[in-house]
Amino acid sequence: MTIMERFLRYVAINTESCEGVETVPSSQRQFDLANVLADDMREIGLSNVRVTDNCFVYAELPATPGCEHLPCMGLIAHMDTTPQFSGADIKPQIINNYDGGDVVLPGNGTILSPSQFPGMKELVGKTLITTDGTTLLGADDKAGIVEILAACETVMKEDKPHGKIAIAFTPDEEVGLGVQQFDVAGFGADFAYTMDGGEVGGLAYENFNACGAMVEFKGLSVHPGSSKDTMINACLLAMEFNSMLPSAEIPRETEGYEGFFHLMHMEGDESSAKLVYIIRDHDAARFDGRKAQMKHIEKIMNHRWGEGTVTVHLREQYRNMREKIEPVIHIIDAARTAMEAVGMKPFDEAIRGGTDGAQLCYMGLPCPNLCTGGHAFHGPYEHIAVEDMEQCTRMLVELIYGVK
Asked whether 80 and 183 are in contact (CB, 8 A), the reply is no
Is 173 a catalytic site residue?
A: yes
Can you give the length of the chain in residues?
404
Catalytic residue (choose from 141, 173, 216, 249) = 173
Q: 16, 40, 60, 80: which one is catalytic?
A: 80
Q: CB burial class (10 A; 0-12, 13-18, 19+) of residue 380?
A: buried
Q: Which one-letter DSSP state was computed for residue 11? A: H
Rg (CA), the chain: 23
Peptide bond into 190 cis (omega under 30): no
Question: Max alpha carbon distance in the chain (Å)?
Answer: 86
Phi/psi of residue 94, nearest 5 degrees: -110, 125
Q: What are phi and psi of 207, to 5 degrees?
A: -150, 175
80 is catalytic: yes
The answer to whether the CB of 291 falls within 8 A of the CB of 316 is no
Q: Which residues of 240-258 are buried (b: 16+ CB within 10 A; e: fewer)?
A: bbbeebeeebeeeebeeeb
- For 102-111, letters b (16+ CB in 10 Å) and e give ebbbeeeebe
- Specify whether the CB–CB gap between 279 and 294 falls below 8 A: yes
Catalytic sites, residue numbers: 80, 173
